[in-house]
Amino acid sequence: MSVLTKAIGVAKKVKHRYQDQIRERTPVYLSPVRRIERVALAERVCAMTFDDGPCRLPANPDAFGGKPLTLVLAETLERFGARGSFDVVGDTSANYPDQAGKHGSASWGGVAYDHYPDFGKDDQGGALHCPDLVDRLLQGGHEITNHTYSHVLFGKKSLVYNHRKFLSGLDPVVEDVCRLNRLMEEKHGYQVKLARPPHYVDGIQGGFDSYDAYAKAGCQYMAASFDGAGWLPLASYEAEVEATWKPIERMLKENPDYFCGQIIFQKDGFNMARRSPIAHGLTKQLELLTAQGYQVVPVSELLERSPFLDVPQTDPAGVAARSLLQAGWCPAYRDNSLRLDTVLTRGEMAMMAFGWAGVDSRIALVRGEVACPWKDVKATHPYAGALLQAQQAGCLSDDQGKIRPDEPITAQELSLFLTRKLGREVDVPKGELTHRSLFLFLAPLLTKE
């Protein structure tokens, strides 16, 4: 293992620990866009995602008669009755002028931009250049998800990608995401539901983030809970292949149910050493999982079985929350949790009911196109747009210029809110209002609409 590889591995672990600490200190807000990492599921069902394809180049080293790498992965999945989510790009050929970085480094495919499947070989990858591979994936029952058209970073990323160019604001990000969605609709008659940002960079210039972009594009945020490896160069190809399946074997030995509801991250392309260990490692991964009775399905199907992180569909409140989702409401937090016993606040009620429309209002507030009317809420507040929508609809009122987003909503306030929102008289029983009690009360009302 090279010094660089060790350094990258250590940096990744440090980054994850740092991110976990940040998450613990950062408030979580309700959102129309949920970050899907895993779901609460008792069944032995999981998902696999494959980034950066489709790839027409053969595996390296090639033991498959020159078949495109994407086809190798699809056929391997299908031999086990498995179906994957292929997180494709559109075309990286416009990402020049550029130069290739050091072989084996994070910039192997470009210093300023990414180029897939390799530097100078952009025409051998991406949905634009490989429509036959996209059709083949769809014919095999696999899912296509959005990894952006050009795979340009949404915003600045320090450390590893500090020399990378990035998109200049929310509108260019939305356009890049929607451009790939349009390609899939126009060329393949396929509607994309899920998206993943390049290198998981969420911050966008101007005070926005990937959640804003995906709300505008009509996608949910597809993340992952388990790294299938293969992207990191090791001392030999054999070591890289082992790294794709050995951790799975270890986790299954410790707990056969470990992968229930999990999303496994993979690459449909080459690692930093321009090798593709997933081409051989995938067979071993699937052997291990199927030996334990696992079914591998696309992420969208995993969500159909169980939509949320912390509440299974056997819980009546989880069933009720699914009904709210289907009605266009926003019952879940950004991390896809429901947190059923959390006391309901005024801001949360606004976001739950007006979240999708609230995104446009929040963008207008942040851009200064609309004045923020309250003393206690800034334009950048995650609920600002939804609160504005709720106030304009007569569902919430302020008090001397304060909208009080963090205060628990009373039964009387909720009765007025729902009466105005649903257009008919609603009487909410008195008592402490939690997310659980609201879901169970509200779901039957929405089914009557």
Note whether 190 and 151 are within 8 A (CB): no
Task: Say yes or no: 76 and 43 in one domain.
Answer: yes
Task: Say yes or no: 162 and 265 in one domain.
Answer: yes
Domain holding 12, by residue range, is: 3-303
Task: Say yes or no: 235 and 383 in one domain.
Answer: no
Cβ neighbours of residue 340 closer than 8 Å, sequence gap 6 or more = 311, 315, 317, 434, 435, 436, 439
CA atoms within 13 A on the CB side of 389: 23
The model's pLDDT over 107-154, given as tens digits with 9 standing for 90+, comes to 999 999 999 999 999 999 999 999 999 999 999 999 999 999 999 999
pLDDT of residue 172: 98
Where residue 160 falls among pLDDT bands split at 50, 70, 90?
confident
Task: Say yes or no: 292 and 338 in one domain.
Answer: no
Q: Domains in the chain: how many in total?
A: 2
pLDDT of residue 157: 87
Q: Where does a domain end: 287, 303, 319?
A: 303
Q: Is the pLDDT of residue 406 over 80?
A: yes
Task: Say yes or no: 323 and 221 in one domain.
Answer: no
The pTM for the full model equals 0.94
Task: Say yes or no: 430 and 337 in one domain.
Answer: yes
Q: Tell me what the pLDDT averaged over the chain comes to.
A: 94
pLDDT of residue 447: 80
Query: For residue 352, what is the enclosing H or E element?
Result: helix 346-366
Average pLDDT, stretch 332-337? 98
pLDDT of residue 20: 52
- Measured CA to CA, the distance from residue 13 to residue 10 in angstroms comes to 5
Query: For residue 33, what is the enclosing H or E element?
Result: none
Average pLDDT, stretch 160-170? 92
Task: Say yes or no: 354 and 290 in one domain.
Answer: no
Q: Where does a domain end: 303, 324, 354?
A: 303
Nearest Cα neighbor of 360 from 170, 131, 109 is 170
Tokens of 118: 């390799």
pLDDT of residue 24: 56
pLDDT of residue 6: 53
Task: Say yes or no: 337 and 421 in one domain.
Answer: yes
Q: Is the pLDDT of residue 96 over 70?
A: yes
CATH at residue 74: 3.20.20.370
Task: Say yes or no: 288 and 354 in one domain.
Answer: no
Tokens of 100: 């290739």
The model's pLDDT over 181-239, given as tens digits with 9 standing for 90+, comes to 999 999 999 999 999 999 999 999 999 999 999 999 999 999 999 999 988 899 999 99
Task: Say yes or no: 33 and 143 in one domain.
Answer: yes
Q: Is the pLDDT of residue 431 over 90?
A: no
pLDDT of residue 230: 85
Task: Say yes or no: 167 and 148 in one domain.
Answer: yes
Q: Where does a domain end: 279, 303, 327?
A: 303
Average pLDDT, stretch 56-71? 98
pLDDT of residue 25: 57
- Measured CA to CA, the distance from residue 182 to residue 179 in angstroms comes to 5
Residue 447's alpha-carbon distances to 306, 330, 423, 440, 442, in angstroms, are: 20, 16, 14, 12, 9
E runs forming strands in 122-165:
143-146
Task: Say yes or no: 54 and 143 in one domain.
Answer: yes
Nearest Cα neighbor of 398 from 360, 372, 366, 422 is 372
Residue 377's alpha-carbon distances to 248, 320, 392, 406, 447, in angstroms, are: 46, 30, 16, 10, 33
CB atoms within 10 A of CB 333: 23
Cβ neighbours of residue 278 closer than 8 Å, sequence gap 6 or more = 50, 73, 228, 230, 244, 266, 267, 268
